[in-house]
Amino acid sequence: MEFKITMPRKRRELYNKEICACSIFGAMNRDGERFTGAGVMKAIANMHVRGNGLGGGFAAYGIYPEHKDYYAFHLMFTGGSAEARMAAKRDFDPYLYENFDVVFDEEIPHRDESTVSDPPLVWRYFVTPNKKGDDAALPDEDYIVAKIMHVNTQIDNAYVFSSGKNMGCFKGVGYPEEIGEYFMLDRLYQAYTWTVHGRFPTNTQAWWGGAHPFSLLDTTVVHNGEISSYGTNRWYLEMYGYACTLQTDTEVIAYAADLLMRRQRLPIELVAKILAPPIWNSIDRMNEKEKKLLTTLRMVYGPLLMNGPFSIIIGQTGKMIGLTDRIRLRPLTAATRGPMFYLSSEEASIRLISPELDSVWTPNGGEPVIGELNNIA
């Protein structure tokens, strides 16, 4: 399938990459039992000093059981004023209605009195694809991705920031615990997986779209670190139709995960070896079969190697995955307690919500730690 990126290119490559230093946290109940966001809000607040209040966000899985067969689009309409935001919604709505059947939509509930600054208009739509003409041959998910890329690049001030089934992202400018309170995540939602991010961007012009998590369909990514290979990764992904518009390097991880896991159907163990491959010295010493596999992976997918310090938590339906760069320049602690599986930048936050733990460890660089639902419904 040929993709045409119609991203308006201002002069040359004038994308500004924001740099992220921050905290991440994830909690999953592997039996599929759902819980509110109160615990993870407490955990991320404990790592308050790792952020600077300029961004926070959550991804939650299993929150829309009554609409679980529809794609839940979360939209952010930005702009300097309420009128500008409504105008963006008026530009977006017709496009949505033309390309999708909208089952239900409403503004995402939030508190009015809160400490978040200058919030955009945030709306959710539950949709199914309405494919016409040539598009009818496309698989649903490719169709949706193409439409999302169109919205994000062509419709001013409108951004689709969550688009999976029975899951959703909530993010903005503020400390993560403030964002959690703003969207009432401790009261309104129950999820079997929560991932959270608190941000410390070094570009002071923070904006709501730039917070983590980054998501596409049901893949979400929260990320601590900086991707020094961003330019290379971005060039490669743009060839496959992914427009990197949200000015944050984390975007490439979400799109790489979508490309490799959903479209190319590679298992997560191999995807981890693409994003964080072992060093050549180690590969050269492996047995023939492994050596051939890893050499081929590096040869074919070299431009998707994520260089630079990172620890990430990838969320997907039924899975939560933690991964660090191959020389572990960023911390990640993993822990289990019964069915609960935790990932965190610091152990203390896990202990705060679960003082007793069955096991605690720090995974090796480049080796993914994967939590899966025991019974996949």
Partner 1 sequence: MKSFVFPEFRIIRDEAKCGQCRGCERQCAFGTHTYDPVQDRLISDDYKCAGCQRCVVFCPKNAIEVRPTPSPYRANASWSREKMEDLKKQAETGGVILTGCGNDKPFRVYWDHIVLNASQVTNPSIDPLREPMELRTFLGAKPDVMEVKTDKGDVEIRTKLSPNLVVETPILFSAMSYGAISYNAFRSLATAACKSGTYFNTGEGGLPKEMREKFGKCAIVQVASGRFGIDAEYLNCASAVEIKVGQGAKPGIGGHLPGEKVSAEVASTRMIPAGTDAISPAPHHDIYSIEDLSMLIYALKEATNYEKPISVKIAAVHNFAAIGSGIVRAGADIIAIDGLRGGTGAAPKAIRDNVGIPIELAISSLDRRLRNEGIRNRCSIIAAGGIRCSADIVKAVALGADAVYIGTSALIAMGCNLCQKCNTGKCNWGICTQDPRLAGRLSVDIASQRLANLIQAWSHEISEMMGGMGINALESLRGNRDHLRGVGLYEWELEVMGIKGAGE
Partner 2 sequence: MAMAHNAQPQLLETTGSGESMDAVEVDATNLATKELNDRLRELMLSGVEKVVLRNVCGQRYIGTRLYTPEHRKMDIEIYGTPGNDLAAFLFGHNIRVHANAQDGVGNTMDHGEIVVEGRAGDVLGFSMRGGKIFVRDSVGYRTALHMKEYEDKKPVVVIGGTSQDFLGEYMAGGIVILLGLGGKPHKGNFLGTGMHGGVIYLRGTVDKTQVGGQVDISPLNDADKEIVDHYVSEFVQRFPDLGIGKEEILKSDFIRLSAKSKRPYVKLYA
Query: Which residues carry out catalysis?
Result: 22
Alpha-carbon 187 to chain mean position: 22
According to CB under 8 A, which one of 38, 87, 150, 240 is a site residue for partner 1?
A: 240
Contacts of partner 1 in 326-355 (CB under 8 A) = 327, 329
Give min distance, CB of 26 to partner 2, in A.
17
328 interacts with, out of partner 1, partner 2, none, CB within 5 to 8 A per kind:
partner 2
Convert residues 11-50 into a mask of x (bound to partner 1 by CB under 8 A) and - (unbound): xxxx--x-x-x-----------------------------
Closest residue by Cα to residue 250 from 6, 2, 21, 4: 21
Q: Does 226 participate in binding partner 1 (rule CB under 8 A)?
A: yes
Question: In Å, what is the CA distance from 362 to each residue of 24, 44, 347, 369?
Answer: 14, 18, 10, 10
Binding site for partner 2 (CB under 8 A): 46-47, 49, 281-282, 285, 327-328, 331, 333, 346-349, 351-352, 360-362, 364-365
Give min distance, CB of 356 to partner 2, in A.
11
365 interacts with, out of partner 2, partner 1, none, CB within 5 to 8 A per kind:
partner 2
Contacts of partner 1 in 250-289 (CB under 8 A) = 264, 266-267, 270, 279-281
Residue among 192 and 230 whose Cβ is closer to partner 1: 230
Give min distance, CB of 84 to partner 1, in A.
27
Give min distance, CB of 11 to partner 1, in A.
6
296 interacts with, out of partner 1, partner 2, none, CB within 5 to 8 A per kind:
partner 1
Stretch that binds partner 1, among 26-34, 53-61, 306-314, 345-353 (CB under 8 A): 306-314
Give min distance, CB of 240 to partner 1, in A.
8
Give min distance, CB of 250 to partner 2, in A.
22
Q: Does 300 participate in binding partner 1 (rule CB under 8 A)?
A: yes
Residue among 291 and 351 whose Cβ is closer to partner 2: 351
Chain positions contacting partner 1, by CB under 8 A = 2-3, 11-14, 17, 19, 21, 202, 225-226, 228-232, 235-236, 238-240, 264, 266-267, 270, 279-281, 292-293, 296-303, 305-309, 327, 329
